[in-house]
Amino acid sequence: MNEKQLETQILDWLNYQPNVFAFKVNTTGIFDPVRKVFRTIKNKHIHKGTADILGLTLGKFFAIEVKTKQTLRAAKINPKARDCSQDDFLRRVVSRGGYALKTSSLEDVVQFIFDIQRFSKSEIL
């Protein structure tokens, strides 16, 4: 399964959940078929490394970076192969009270969301 297929599977599951609002963020720009390149978006408020999926559950913000198993494995073996801006984005989310996950499986996302919801419910009581 490639990243786009996994993202779709994850988003389908997330948006089926009653207390979750999640969406895909595209910051790569628009593909120019004539020049065969992505046009960069020139906006100072677009953050390099923005996670693939952003959302809310029970008032808690989350960010999910989706990778294939091969990409995750390669990043562990060779840290220079990682996109540090993506890691930085996830760290910024967590440092400001949100939740972040880098994953290659729907199962990880299910556990991640249930953990956030369990923590949020106990926090409210």
Q: Looking at the whole model, is its pTM more than 0.85?
A: no
List the one residue out of 52, 76, 83 whose CA is nearest residue 65.
Answer: 52
Q: For every one of its 125 residues, what pLDDT tens digit does the chain have, with 9 covering 90 and above? A: 899 999 999 999 999 999 999 999 876 667 778 888 776 767 666 677 889 999 999 999 999 999 988 877 666 655 555 568 888 999 999 999 999 999 999 999 999 999 999 987 655 43
Q: What is the CATH number of domain 3-124?
A: 3.40.1350.10
Using only C-alpha atoms, what is the Rg of the chain?
A: 16
Q: Can you give the residue ranges of every domain in the chain?
A: 3-124
